[in-house]
Structure 1
Amino acid sequence: MFSTPDPVWPVIVLAVVIGSDALMSIRLPQFIRDCYAGVGFPLEWGWVLVYVKLLATAGLIVGIWHDGVGVAATAGVVAYFVAATIAHLRARFLGSEFWINCLGMLALSLAVLAWSFAF
């Protein structure tokens, strides 16, 4: 079974980033609206992604102290951004939102998974 993260600070950084993204998504800034439109995600379903991000943040934080929870939450964040990457590729929405936001967050979450749980 996976233990708690070591080192823990990358998980905290990921939790802060995902939590900030969730809070920012409550009142959608234009670049997030553009991203939703670009991949064909309906704006009226944006609240679902807010909850998913808030749950991921909670899982990352709880996982600091409870075995297995952190790795599951981090893997969930990776899966979320893999799905976002697939949505961007299928829609051919490959602007800066894809390269910076989507792939950047995928790289960050993969790095946290590898650094804090795999090595």
Structure 2
Amino acid sequence: MTLLPDPWWLTALLAATLLFDAVASIKPPKFIRDCLEGVGFPGEWWWTLIVIKTLAVAGLIVGFWVPGIGLAASVGVVVYSLCATSAHIKARFTGMSFWVNCLGMLSLSLATLVFSFLA
């Protein structure tokens, strides 16, 4: 296990993906709105997802220089993605957005954790 990401580019890819997702969530396009509504996530709480994703991005970036921060942020993104996956399954909202967006983020976050920090 390492406390600094190696390879660094996988962590950078996860941070960039989360940043794009956070920015897109400010004024969510239809596919994001449909996803959040499909799992029954209350509209008045959507802002919390932007905060969580932005904090994850910050943690991943700081983690390039501060040992352990990127690892903690990476674990947090995996937990977030597992919660999202669970919400989709519980709501039986397993269409294209589940397979591409939800499981795609889970796969990327798991790959980052395993290959950048645990391998």
Partner of 2:109: 109
% identical equivalent positions = 56
Q: Which residue of 2 aligns with 1:56?
A: 56
How do 1:1-119 and structure 2 match up within 5 A?
Answer: 2-119=2-119
Secondary structure at the aligned position of 1:92 is classed as coil
Q: Distance in 1 between matches of 2:31 and 2:10?
A: 26
TM-score by length of 2: 0.97
Read off the aligned partner of 2:69 and give its amino acid letter.
V
- How many residue pairs align between the two structures? 119
CA distance in 2, matches of 1:26, 1:56: 16
Equivalents in 1 of 2:2, 2:12: separation in Å?
17
Q: Please give the root-mean-square deviation of Cα atoms over the aligned residues, in Å.
A: 1.0
Which aligned segments of 4 or more residues in structure 1 are displaced greater than 2 angstroms? Answer: none
Query: What secondary structure sits across from 1:27 in the alignment?
Result: coil
CA offset at residue 2 of structure 1? 4.2
What is the TM-score when the length of structure 1 is the normalising length?
0.97
The residue type equivalent to 1:102 in the other structure is C
Matched residue type, 1:115? F
Structure 2 unpaired stretches of 5+ = none
Show structure 1 runs of 5+ residues with no match.
none
